[in-house]
Amino acid sequence: MSEHVLVVNSGSSSIKYQLVDVGTGESVAGGLVERIGEGGDGTLRHDGPSGRTDRTQPVPDHDAGVRAVLDLFAEVGPSLTEVGLVAVGHRVVQGGDRFTEPVLVDDAVEAAIEELSPLAPLHNPPNLAGIRAARHAFPELPHVAVFDTAFHHTLPAAARTYAIDRDVAREHGIRRYGFHGTSHAYVSRRTAELLGKATDEVNLIVAHLGNGASITAVRGGESVETSMGLTPLEGLVMGTRSGDVDPAVIFHLQRVAGMSTDEIDTLLNRRSGMIGMAGVNDMRDVHDAVAAGDADARLALDVYCHRLKHYVGAYYAQLGHVDAVVFTAGVGENDDIVRELALAGLERLGIVVDPERNAGRKKTETVISPDGAEVTVLVVPTNEELEIAQQAVALVG
């Protein structure tokens, strides 16, 4: 019987899950629970060998969400008791200084993930809720936590250090951690394979553009610079997050606008980025608004691509030599306009996008630079679930 891993990725109001056949790397079943704890009913979508199942039912919290997922597996299959489940893999966003490798979850690990919650307030609490619910359902199985921050533990001191008072920084653990590492690692490895090189031979710029977005400079297969920092708020423009702002904006809003710390946290994490500038967070809706002549949406798209190009240039400078620029995640894989605008005008760096190759959504790994280009530009669909499943299996043996 082949080995399967259930991978759980709990977000603030959602649970994404996949049942991965580790032998083939295929997802056998998967789905999404949304609108958890939002007052009204939750929505469930489950895809498996017997097709798609959609459901609407009360999902007051992540415990109920995980139980609803397990009920779906039991009802429409595949049966989790019959597929040979060897582990449950959990995405955990913030692992701090402590977790630079996947770990087996026990009560002490749960407590540590909870302690790290202030450094990923949107992510670690739901990650933990998913772990607790799944451990409750499968107490006999090994549960493995795989951390977004782990891949970035190689950040050199100059890249991970904020230029603030060293005593304050040390006392409070104020440093840059970086996130989306599971995706950056998977995409880097796939890209090296596509380029026909060993992973430790490639220099890459990897742009993970999903709802959250970050970009990483990879030297010799290792993360040496990345755009997210202490929390997943720094860096690129995102669906609902501002990315980089002058920190003085915060003091100004406190002193002059009378906003509280929590209000500013909500403003920058949930009411900024595309939703703040354009009123919608999904890039498809932004493009629709641009097409309808909405000037705010146009500006938001320009800010998004301007910031992205800024980082590509900066990371080129840090790396000195770049083999490939790679796009991944929802926007990176699907949005040819963002890819084109972000790399326009970089011919002198050897970075060129072929309009025909770039056109459209990319479901598979695709080179979008012309033949013979100095820097290969690619779209490589990410697969965080497969990466988590493989890391979980590697740990449990």
Ligand X SMILES: CC(=O)OP(=O)(O)O
Q: According to CB under 6 A, which residues from 158 to 187 bind ligand ADP?
A: none
Neighbours of 274 (CB within 10 A): 25
Q: According to CB under 5 A, which residues from 196 to 215 bind Mg ion?
A: 210
Q: What, of ligand X, Mg ion, ligand ADP, none, does residue 361 touch, CB below 5 to 8 Å by kind?
A: ligand ADP
- The reply on whether position 89 binds Mg ion by CB under 5 A is no
Name the β-bridge partners of 257: none
Q: Any alpha helices (H) in 320-374, and if so which ranges?
A: 329-334, 336-343, 355-358
> Binding site for substrate: what residues are annotated?
91
- Three-state DSSP class for residue 182: helix
Among 212, 235, 273, 332, binds ligand X (CB under 6 A): 212
Name the residue nearer to ligand X (CB basis): 123 or 362.
Answer: 123
Q: Which of 104, 229, 103 is nearest to 177 (CA)?
A: 229
Among 90, 180, 307, 357, binds ligand X (CB under 6 A): 180
Active site residue 148: yes
Q: According to CB under 5 A, which residues from 9 to 38 bind Mg ion?
A: none
d(CA 105, CA 86): 14
DSSP character at residue 77: S
- The reply on whether position 381 binds ligand ADP by CB under 6 A is no
CB 393 within 8 A of CB 88: no
End-to-end CA distance of the chain: 16
CB 159 within 8 A of CB 211: no
Q: Which of 61, 71, 97, 148 is catalytic?
A: 148
Q: What, of ligand ADP, ligand X, Mg ion, none, does residue 243 touch, CB below 5 to 8 Å by kind?
A: none
Strands 15-21 and 26-34: antiparallel
Among 148, 323, 333, 335, binds ligand X (CB under 6 A): 148
372 residue type, one letter: G
What is the sign of the dihedral through the CA atoms of 261, 267, 269 and 272? negative
- The reply on whether position 335 binds ligand ADP by CB under 6 A is yes
Closest residue to Mg ion in the complex (CB): 210
Q: CA 311 → CA 318, 338, 342, distances in Å?
A: 10, 14, 10
Span of 124-132, 161-169, 184-192, 206-214 interacting with ligand X by CB under 6 A: 206-214
Q: According to CB under 6 A, which residues from 274 to 333 bind ligand ADP?
A: 282-284, 329-331
Instruction: Give the per-residue contact string, 36-75, with ligand X (x = CB under 6 A; - = no).
Output: ----------------------------------------
d(CA 235, CA 237): 7
d(CA 299, CA 86): 49
> Binding site for ATP: what residues are annotated?
16, 208-212, 282-284, 330-334
Among 170, 361, 363, 374, binds ligand ADP (CB under 6 A): 361
CB 135 within 8 A of CB 104: no
Question: Hey, what are 229's tokens?
Answer: 């920092």
d(CA 104, CA 106): 6
Neighbours of 366 (CB within 10 A): 18
Q: What, of Mg ion, ligand X, ligand ADP, none, does residue 232 touch, CB below 5 to 8 Å by kind?
A: ligand X
Name the residue nearer to ligand ADP (CB basis): 14 or 390.
Answer: 14
Instruction: Give the per-residue contact string, 201-230, with ligand ADP (x = CB under 6 A; - = no).
Output: ---------xxx------------------
Binding site residues, ligand X, CB under 6 A: 93, 123, 148, 179-180, 210-212, 232
Catalytic residues: 148
Binding site residues, ligand ADP, CB under 6 A: 210-212, 239, 282-284, 329-331, 334-335, 361
